[in-house]
Chain A
């Protein structure tokens, strides 16, 4: 690299090391894995052998380890610092959970072994199901959904199946508050429903009067996130549930924010019919740079018969697995994914729950809410909070404090990066302008929160002084500075291709 902004020969800057693509450092014939010579056999591939090179690069083990180690060092992580992404719940990921999921007898189980050889695995799923049902106060749980969004799909499908069973084909609409996660309307649409937005009131909650006015024989149900995406508890949950049920609809609760109330409130006591639980949020299975997740769905007695396959049952010889249903018992919802669910996430989530216990989970929710309210209290005088507290697990601010400054929410976020913090969630929820959604989680110490607060206050002060350049130039100290997203979308380059021969010769 001949030119680089740091003026070094390599483009490196101390511990920040540049790293080419694997395709730019491979050599033919090199491999990082030594495998035995295949025994000589007559090919049974039926003449369909692959011809020509695939084009995969060859790296030795030390090269590969260095490659991924260098890449890892270009990432922010909870292990490195505070990650206050509202709605995403970036809490500590205990390493015990990683150890347990790798145990022999769990990691090496095939999903289609005879059930007599996997009794411990089924017991583990059953135990986790018991914890989830007890914590939510719900009678049933579907374990298979692969992530929160698939959990939503599972819940809405169960609602639809229950309506279909009663011949309610005229219920074509799902009501979704405008503050909802984007997955809610996308899920309702994926199930063939028309989506209708319900406005928020001045307190940042569902407008109960508007909701009641919209209920009727065409409404299949409502999807409400609680605590909602403004970080507020929906005070009228019980009333909403009664109204929806009186109108013949079902009540879906988006459980993305269950971590705020776990151990303190059972959603079943609020009158919901179903709720997905993001194990990667509330129960701290690692986010892994964007998955995998796991999204079990708790169901009311009315929806339990419409759970998707498979499910674990107590049989006469221990645990059994229902993978197929026939005749009248045939599952109306069918199957959402191959095999039985995200077992690796079940192991981690159960380890997290057992480590915390009923008392620790209650404390975790309490500390998460305490931390968010501390941030709200300490920043309300320099930033602008659209709704008064108390909040639940996350503190919401809007961009009124930036009015006329020439600095945007995004600019603040980028300046936080230079201060060593991951930005908060920005521009979501959509119901306030230029949103900052801050979720500290229970994992942060008071010292860490105080440093975060000092940074935010310092940045707000800088905005006041009119130092806009500081914000527009940020971030300055990251492996890459602001990236041109417009170019990426206009002319998509989604894979590496070998350089054209003439260009190669010129280099």
Chain B
């Protein structure tokens, strides 16, 4: 077997050094009844070519977004990733290293985490950021839990424009911890009044920008309303490229910003692994969950980096930890930071402008398409359309038959709300072409 170096002679010599007759005898602490006598009922080992053939056959049964016009978004976006990103993250020193607990032999990982934390703080307009979380939804959930710790209150208000999966993940953890949720209904075309839901027991209000249905909002007034009642404002961002074009949540007065970082450096990959971003104010630093990298000096007085403030974490605090999480999303954070370094200020701004322009062109075209109504105004690279008299799920299925990935039917995420059945979310990115837009508009016109 190609991955295991021992010869039979090696094994014999080692068993002799140990003083046992066989490998099986090393398992003598296992109760006899539980010891398997031979291999389990699964196929035997295979070479690279057989494994590659089998998995490539599964891949071939899918319709990838690279092979069809695609307008899918709703929290996961297809972008162009520069070739250098994937090359660099596959360097063995990054790919096959562990969490940097031994800083003298992990300065590479630690320095990029320090740079990553700085980039996230800059993008979100916040003071500090952690070294990443599992994904945007889990970051949102951890933010709610953190808000209850900071405010010592146990209620959270959720916007109807927060991604439904984020709402569900927040609800899962809130249920465990006895946090009461006040979830506003989804509102595809109207502003919601969240300020009136805040009371003296509210720990936080969670909003999203751009919202799940694509709308952009200024939350400055809401931030003031939160502050007046002693609650925190949490802003979630599911399309991080939008921060290259939009006023950042920090400037609106957000207390915690969480985001899904997949759009930079990371492929769609059927939903994971992704990378959650988490940023907050300096004064909440010690309440923040997740790993943190900090600057210090070494024994020779040279600048270096270490994981720090780990007294908040589970391996030290055990049941008193700020969270049970013990990993970040290292390699995805690396892909994120490399992509953003390659783009730089000028490239990132242009990428955002390009995304918005493509979406604006898509909207213009769909506004002229029979039976399609663009919902609301003020969006970044994604918006909702109403398919008059038709169910979006059916239309999407029909168009998939024509090898067009038309977008995300809202009903996929809100199946029990018939009033949303005709809504389709469509996104455009720098990868969207004029031909793609034309194909979608033409097909939507003909679909029933």
Cβ contact of B96, chosen from A5, A77, A181, A337, cutoff 8 A: A77
Q: How far is the CA of A109 from the CA of B293 in the complex (A)?
A: 33
Judge whether B308 and A488 touch: CB under 8 Å. Answer: yes
- The CA of A492 and the CA of B285, in the complex, are separated in Å by 9
Contact check, A183 vs B324: say whether CB atoms are below 8 A apart.
Answer: yes
* Bound CA–CA A127/B57 (angstroms): 13
Decide if B396 is an interface residue (CB 8 Å cutoff): yes
Q: Does B314 count as interface, using CB distance less than 8 angstroms?
A: yes
Q: List 29 A-B contacts (CB under 8 A).
A: A22-B115, A23-B115, A54-B244, A58-B347, A71-B108, A83-B98, A96-B48, A96-B52, A98-B95, A100-B55, A103-B55, A107-B268, A182-B321, A192-B177, A195-B319, A233-B27, A263-B36, A288-B331, A289-B99, A336-B138, A336-B169, A341-B271, A358-B39, A370-B23, A423-B102, A481-B104, A484-B297, A493-B296, A495-B127
Distance between B309 CB and nearest chain A CB, rounded to angstroms: 6
Q: Among A60-68, A297-305, A400-408, A460-468, which stretch is in contact with chain B? A: A60-68
Chain A residues closer than 8 Å to B59, beta-carbon distance: 103-106, 120
| A335 touching B172, Cβ below 8 Å | yes
With A111-B270, A336-B169, A422-B102 already in contact, the answer to whether A238 and B296 are too (CB < 8 A) is: no
Chain B residues within 8 Å of A148, by CB = 326-327
From A44, A269, A371, A487, contact of B379 by CB (8 A): A44
Chain B residues lying within 8 Å of A59, measured Cβ to Cβ, are: 341-342, 344
Contact B45 A183 (CB under 8 A): no
B343 to chain A, nearest CB (A): 5
Contact across chains for A116 and B400 when beta carbons are under 8 A apart: yes
Q: Are B138 and A337 in contact (CB under 8 A)?
A: yes
Is B176 touching A32 in the complex (CB atoms < 8 A)? no
Closest to B2 in A: A355
Closest to B87 in A: A65
Interface centre among B112, B138, B285, B318 (most CB of A within 10 A): B318
A488-B268 contact, Cβ under 8 Å, with A58-B344, A338-B166, A480-B103: no
Does A494 sit within 8 A of B, measured CB to CB? yes
Pairwise interchain contact A495-B270, C-beta atoms closer than 8 A: no
Contact across chains for B330 and A289 when beta carbons are under 8 A apart: yes
The one of B89, B98, B117 that contacts A287, using a Cβ cutoff of 8 Å: B98
Q: Give chain B residues whose Cβ lies under 8 Å from the Cβ of A65.
A: 84, 87-88
**Given A185-B319, A354-B46: A112 in contact with B72 (beta carbons within 8 A):** yes
Contact with B along A111-141 (1 / 0, CB 8 A): 1111011111101100100010011000000
Contact for A54 among B33, B89, B123, B319, CB less than 8 A: B123
Set of chain A residues within 8 Å of B176, measured between Cβ atoms: 157, 160, 190-192
Residue in B112, B129, B273 whose CB lies within 8 Å of A344? B273
CB < 8 Å: which of B1, B175, B328, B377 contacts A363? B1
A284's nearest neighbour on chain B, judged by CB, is B3
**B17, A44: Cβ atoms closer than 8 Å:** no
Cβ of B419 within 8 Å of any chain A Cβ, yes or no, is no
- CB–CB A68/B105 < 8 A: no
| In the complex, B334 has a CB within 8 A of chain A | yes
**Which residues in chain B, 100-151, are within 8 Å of chain A measured between CB atoms?**
100, 102-109, 111-112, 114-115, 117-119, 121-123, 127-129, 131-132, 134-138
**Is there an interface contact between A35 and B302, defined as CB atoms closer than 8 Å?**
no
The docked-state distance in angstroms from the alpha carbon of A492 to that of B130 is: 12
Given A186-B324, A266-B36: A422 and B105 within 8 A (CB)? yes
Say whether A339 contacts B76, CB under 8 Å: yes
Q: Which of B23, B45, B86, B94 contacts A75 (CB 8 A)?
A: B94
Of chain B, the residue at the smallest CB distance from A194 is B319
Is residue A382 within 8 Å, beta carbon to beta carbon, of the partner chain? no
With both beta carbons as reference points, the residue of chain A lying nearest to B350 in the complex is identified as A35
- Residues on A with C-beta less than 8 A from B306 are 483, 485, 488
Query: When the two chains form their complex, are residues B178 and A77 in contact, meaning their CB atoms are under 8 A apart?
Result: no
In Å, the complex CA distance between A363 and B364 comes to: 61
* B60 and A120 contacting across the interface, CB-CB below 8 Å: yes
* Set of chain B residues within 8 Å of A187, measured between Cβ atoms: 324
A104-B66, A146-B134 given; A355·B48 CB < 8 A: yes
Assess the B296–A483 pair: CB atoms within 8 A.
yes
A53 CB, min distance to chain B CBs, angstroms: 6
Cβ–Cβ < 8 Å partners of B305 in chain A: 483
| Interface bits B157-180 vs A (CB < 8 Å: 1, else 0) | 000000101101101110111100
Q: Are A359 and B273 in contact (CB under 8 A)?
A: no
Q: What is the bound-complex CA distance between A264 and B34, given in angstroms? A: 9
Give which listed residue, B28, B75, B134, B270, contacts A340 with CB less than 8 A.
Answer: B270
Rounded to whole angstroms, the CA-CA distance of A49 and B325 in the bound complex is 36
- Please, how many angstroms separate the alpha-carbon atoms of A81 and B320 in the complex? 36
CA A351 – CA B88 in complex, angstroms?
22
Which secondary structure characterizes the binding site on chain A? loop
A6 to B44, CA, bound (A): 54
Could you tell me if A112 and B344 are in contact, using CB atoms closer than 8 angstroms? no
CB proximity of B24 to chain A, nearest CB, Å: 8
Within the complex, which residue of A31, A90, A443, A493 is in contact with B98, where a contact is CB–CB below 8 Å? A90
A371 → chain B, closest Cβ, in Å? 8
A411 contacts B by Cβ under 8 Å: no
Confirm or deny: A165 has a beta carbon within 8 angstroms of a beta carbon on chain B.
Answer: no
Contacts of B346 in A (CB 8 A): 28-31, 58
Q: Is residue B228 within 8 Å, beta carbon to beta carbon, of the partner chain?
A: no
Verify B271–A111 contact, CB threshold 8 A: yes
Encode contact with A along B304-341: 1 for CB under 8 Å, 0 otherwise.
11101101011111111101111111111010001011
User: Closest CB-CB distance, B281 to chain A, in whole Å?
Assistant: 12
In the bound complex, what is the Cα–Cα distance between A357 and B64 (angstroms)?
29
In the bound assembly, the distance between CA atoms of A353 and B112 in angstroms comes to 32
In contact, A488 and B294 (Cβ under 8 angstroms): yes
* B63 in the interface (beta carbon within 8 A): yes
CB <8 Å contact, B95 and A93: yes
B351 within 8 A of partner (CB): yes
Would B332 and A292 count as touching, CB distance under 8 A? yes
Q: Is A435 an interface residue (CB 8 A)?
A: no
Stretch from A206-214, A243-251, A372-380, A499-507 forming part of the interface with B: A372-380
Is the Cβ of B114 less than 8 Å from the Cβ of A495? Answer: yes
Residues of A within 8 A of B397 (CB): 114, 116
Which A residues, 387 to 418, have Cβ-Cβ distances below 8 Å to chain B?
389-390, 392, 413-414, 417
Query: Which residues of chain B have C-beta atoms less than 8 A from A428's C-beta?
Result: 315
- The answer to whether A288 and B62 touch (CB under 8 A), given A5-B300, A68-B338, A110-B78, is no
A254 located at the interface, meaning its Cβ lies under 8 Å from any Cβ of chain B in the complex:
no
Contact in complex: A149, B269 (CB < 8 Å): no
The answer to whether B134 and A71 touch across the interface, beta carbons within 8 angstroms, is no
Given contacts A55-B122, A112-B72, A354-B51, contact A479 B1 (CB under 8 A): no
Q: Given A358-B41, A358-B42, A494-B117, is A117 in contact with B412 using a C-beta cutoff of 8 Å? A: no
Among the interface residues A117, A195, A342, A494, which one has the most CB atoms of the partner chain B within 10 A? A494
Per-position 1/0 for B45-77, Cβ under 8 A of A: 111101110111111111111110010101110
User: Would B34 and A74 count as touching, CB distance under 8 A?
Assistant: no
B5 within 8 A of A: yes
8 Å CB contacts to B: which residues of A434-483? 442-446, 475, 478-483
Contact indicator per residue, chain B 264-287, by CB within 8 Å of chain A (1) or not (0):
000111111111000000000100
Bound CA–CA A268/B142 (angstroms): 33
CA distance A35 to B61 in the complex (A): 32
Distance between Cα atoms of A65 and B4 in the complex (Å): 33
**Contact at B78–A293, with CB atoms within 8 Å?**
no
**B439 part of interface (Cβ distance < 8 Å):** no
B338 touches which of A64, A337, A374, A489 (Cβ 8 Å): A64
Known A-B contacts A287-B97, A335-B169; the reply to A33 vs B347 at CB < 8 A is yes
Least distance between A359 CB and chain B CB atoms (Å): 5
B304 to chain A, nearest CB (A): 4
- CB distance A288 to B354 under 8 Å? no
Q: How far is the CB of A404 from chain B (nearest CB, A)?
A: 25
Which single member of A135, A289, A423 contacts B100 (CB below 8 Å)? Answer: A289
How distant is B175 from chain A, measured CB to nearest CB, in Å? 7
**With A69-B88, A147-B325 given, is the CB distance from A357 to B42 under 8 Å?**
yes
**Is A367 a contact of B6 with CB atoms below 8 Å?**
yes
- Please measure, in the bound complex, the distance between the C-alpha atom of A70 and the C-alpha atom of B111, giving whole angstroms: 11
